[in-house]
């Protein structure tokens, strides 16, 4: 903001030269799905093209995200400010290792889910716009991961939220309407809290650029209500992430839509909340996070245990998955509570793992439904005999979600337990281990009842429920891709640990991020 009476050099406010074409990579993951969604809306009557076009866009998105991550790893954070303005006057998009890694994993999960949906979403679902909604949701999610501006982050939250409403009620089942009502109202309250915090933030700092905020938060002095801001952000993003006392919208809604929507939501949406918490509490309000650390720690413990206990009490596999999503949110919150490099890299690694693993768990539920005719543990049985292939996938997914080797959940938990013992937070270490044990029991029960239990003898195999049938080939191959990625993460964790450590260091020491937005190092 220009100070009164100073002479302002206009050249300092605008970009003079043309923008290098490689810089466009920063916004490509957002622009691609928006264009894709718009085109899909234009051709909304030609539904046979929808899935193909969505798949193509998502493949290009994965490629763009991959290139972006490679560039960020090689040269540090990249930034681009809209409308040729210089920051902080324009809206900046800034990709660092954290944002690029999350964005890449999210687009990969979306691609896999889209492949799964080829058989799962029927003509009615396509006509009502499943694929345009999917595209716009991905635009919102990528935008949230890559933006460098707080208000813009709010806008992307709203973009993926409204698209998720569309996906959630697609089909207009009674249970869907019920779940969507709770999901929509509570999430709207959550984003409104986010907007309140952002209003105060602008009033306090006079800037919304994250790099600018990170620079100024340390210099603004004790008179500014930074503690209030940090607490409001914790409340708002805690609600979006489904942390314990604010989590009730998630188990009410995630099991109601088609399983593919559950997979997308369970994999991606809560992680956006976690990402926003990392960005605000760790990078911008570092000193305030230290004060809140005790509170966040106990919230994390409660979230982990409530999630795992909830999973134990369910008999519908989608509801088990919903509660395991919550348990995973607790584990990531634990890393934010610890705040050390080890804890944060554990949380980031866990977030990458859980995007894959929880989507895989929902998709597994879908395939079990296709093969066994039900989601309920009361009626599923004999799946091992029916499909050993599905049983093997289910076994690996269960290991990964519960955090047992060789699944991908082991290493982030090891990092987090070590980090919490290093900082003397025994209750966090204990909660991670206990919730892992409870998740093992819950998923072990799925394996025993649905796969190992013999199909009831009195009703011979001819008496399968009408819904049971062969599994869809795209569904199986989608799940195989996810399981392969999870196994790679579990067996060769080194590159992922390096990646998460780099992302955590980039948050703890934001100088490279700030340098990318303000190359002169001048702030504003």
Partner 1 sequence: MEAVFAILVGLFFAAGIYLMLSRHIIRILLGVVLFGNAVNLLIFTNGRIIREVPPIIAEGLDVPAGAVVNPLPQALILTAIVISFCFFCFLLVLAYRAYQEIGTDDTDSMRVAEPVDDGLPPMGY
Count the neighbouring beta carbons within 10 Å of the beta carbon of residue 300. Answer: 30
Nearest to 349 by CA among 162, 519, 101: 101
The widest CA-to-CA distance across the chain, in whole angstroms, is: 90
Q: What is the CA radius of gyration of the chain?
A: 23
Q: Is 449 in the site for partner 1 (CB under 8 A)?
A: yes
Backbone dihedral region for residue 114 (phi beyond 0: left; psi -120 to 50: alpha; all else: beta): alpha
In the bound state with partner 1, the residue whose beta carbon lies nearer, of 458 and 494, is 458
Asked if residue 184 binds partner 1 (CB under 8 A), the reply is yes
The footprint of partner 1 on residues 350-379 (CB under 8 A) is 377-378
Q: How far apart are CA 118 and CA 425, in angstroms?
A: 46
User: What distance in Å separates the CA atoms of residue 141 and residue 273, rounded to the nearest whole number?
Assistant: 10
180 sits near partner 1 (criterion: CB under 8 A): yes
Residue 169 makes contact with partner 1 by CB under 8 A:
yes
Compute the distance between CA of residue 133 and CA of residue 228 in angstroms, rounded to an integer: 35
Determine, following the binding rule CB under 8 A, whether residue 455 of this chain makes contact with partner 1: no
Query: How many secondary structure helices (H) and strands (E) does the chain include?
Result: 22, 2
Identified binder of partner 1 from the candidate list 132, 179, 262, 372, rule CB under 8 A: 179
Rounded distance between C-alpha atoms, residue 402 and residue 409, angstroms: 7
Residue located via tokens 């289910």: 394
CB 43 to partner 1: min, Å? 24
Question: Using the rule CB under 8 A, is 181 a contact of partner 1?
Answer: yes
**Residue 97 CB: number of other CB atoms within 10 A?**
25
- Selected from 224, 453, 455, 472, the binder of partner 1 by CB under 8 A is 453
Interface stretch with partner 1, choices 48-56, 176-184, 263-271, 500-508 (CB under 8 A): 176-184
Of 164, 196, 197, nearest to 183 by C-alpha is: 164
Residues 315-334 interacting with partner 1 (rule: CB under 8 A): 315
Classify residue 254 as exposed, middle or buried by CB count within 10 Å of its CB (0-12, 13-18, 19+). buried
Minimum distance of partner 1 from residue 398's CB (angstroms): 15
Residue 155 binds partner 1, judged by CB under 8 A: yes
Name which of 323 and 496 has its Cβ closer to partner 1: 323
Residue among 16, 20, 21, 174 that touches partner 1 (CB under 8 A): 174
Shortest Cβ distance from residue 203 to partner 1 (Å)? 4
Alpha-carbon separation of residue 198 from 10, 190, 517 (angstroms): 28, 13, 20
For position 199 contacting partner 1 by CB under 8 A, the verdict is: yes
Contact at 8 Å (CB) between 210 and 518? no
Q: Kindly indicate which of the ranges 185-193, 382-390, 396-404, 467-475 contains the residues binding partner 1, using the contact rule CB under 8 A.
A: 185-193
- What is the x/- site pattern for partner 1, positions 463-492, by CB under 8 A? ------------------------------
Rounded Cα–Cα distance for residues 408 and 89 (Å): 42
- Quick note: the x/- pattern for partner 1 over 213-232, rule CB under 8 A, is --------------------
By the rule CB under 8 A, 508 interacts with partner 1: no
10 Å CB burial of residue 472 (0-12, 13-18, 19+) is middle
Does 441 sit near partner 1 (CB under 8 A)?
A: no
CB of 372 to partner 1, least distance (A): 14
Can you read off the two tokens belonging to residue 518?
Answer: 């303000």
Q: Does 189 sit near partner 1 (CB under 8 A)? A: yes
Q: Restricting to residues 247-306, name those near partner 1 by CB under 8 A.
A: 251-253, 255-256
- The correct pick among 49, 165, 389, 395 for binding partner 1 (CB under 8 A) is 165
The DSSP output letter for 43 is: T
Element (H, E) at 80: strand 78-81
- Interface residue list for partner 1 (CB under 8 A): 2-8, 10, 151, 154-155, 158, 162, 165, 169, 172, 174-182, 184-185, 188-189, 192, 195-196, 199-200, 202-203, 251-253, 255-256, 313-315, 377-378, 445, 448-449, 453
């Amino acid at each position: 903001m220009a100070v009164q009476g100073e002479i302002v050099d206009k050249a300092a406010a605008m970009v003079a030269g043309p923008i290098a074409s490689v810089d466009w990579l920063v916004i490509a993951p957002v622009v691609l799905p928006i264009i894709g969604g718009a085109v899909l809306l234009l051709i909304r009557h030609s539904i046979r093209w929808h899935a193909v076009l969505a798949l193509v866009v998502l493949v290009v998105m994965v490629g763009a995200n991959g290139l972006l991550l490679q560039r960020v790893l090689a040269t540090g954070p990249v930034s681009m400010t809209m409308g040729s303005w210089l920051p902080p006057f324009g809206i900046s998009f800034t990709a660092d290792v954290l944002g690029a890694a999350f964005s890449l994993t999210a687009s990969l999960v979306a691609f896999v889910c889209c492949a799964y949906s080829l058989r799962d979403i029927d003509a009615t679902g396509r006509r009502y716009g499943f694929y345009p909604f999917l595209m716009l949701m991905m635009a919102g999610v990528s935008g949230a991961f890559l933006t460098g501006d707080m208000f813009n982050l709010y806008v992307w939250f709203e973009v993926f939220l409204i698209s998720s409403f569309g996906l959630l009620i697609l089909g207009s089942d009674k249970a869907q309407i019920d779940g969507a009502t709770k999901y929509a109202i509570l999430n709207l309250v959550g984003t409104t809290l986010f907007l309140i915090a952002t209003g105060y933030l602008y009033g306090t700092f006079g800037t919304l650029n994250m790099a600018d905020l990170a620079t100024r938060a340390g210099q603004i002095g004790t008179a500014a209500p930074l503690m209030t801001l940090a607490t409001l952000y914790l409340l708002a993003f805690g609600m979006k992430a489904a942390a314990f006392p604010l989590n009730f919208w998630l188990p009410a809604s995630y099991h109601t839509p088609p399983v593919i929507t559950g997979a997308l939501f369970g994999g991606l949406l809560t992680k956006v909340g976690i990402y926003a918490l990392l960005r605000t509490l760790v990078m911008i309000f570092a000193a305030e996070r230290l004060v809140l650390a005790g509170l966040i720690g106990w919230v994390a413990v409660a979230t982990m245990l409530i999630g795992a206990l909830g999973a134990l009490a369910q008999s519908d596999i989608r509801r088990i998955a919903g509660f395991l999503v919550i348990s995973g949110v607790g584990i990531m919150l634990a890393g934010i509570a610890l705040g050390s490099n080890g804890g944060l890299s554990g949380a980031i690694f866990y977030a990458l793992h859980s995007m894959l693993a929880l989507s895989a768990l929902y998709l597994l539920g879908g395939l079990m439904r296709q093969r066994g005719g039900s989601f309920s543990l009361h009626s599923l049985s004999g799946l091992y005999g029916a499909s050993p292939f599905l049983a093997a996938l289910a076994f690996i997914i269960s290991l990964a979600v519960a955090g047992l080797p060789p699944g991908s959940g082991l290493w982030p938990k090891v990092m987090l337990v070590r980090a919490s013992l290093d900082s003397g937070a025994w209750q966090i270490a204990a909660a991670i281990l206990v919730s892992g044990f409870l998740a093992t029991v819950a998923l072990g029960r799925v394996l025993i009842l649905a796969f190992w239990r013999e199909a009831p003898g009195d009703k011979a195999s001819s008496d399968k429920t009408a819904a049971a049938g062969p599994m869809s080939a795209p569904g199986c191959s989608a799940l195989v891709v996810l399981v392969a990625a999870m196994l790679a993460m579990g067996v060769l964790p080194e590159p992922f640990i390096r990646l998460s450590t780099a992302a955590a260091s980039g948050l703890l020491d934001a100088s490279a991020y700030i340098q990318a937005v303000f190359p002169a190092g001048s702030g504003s």
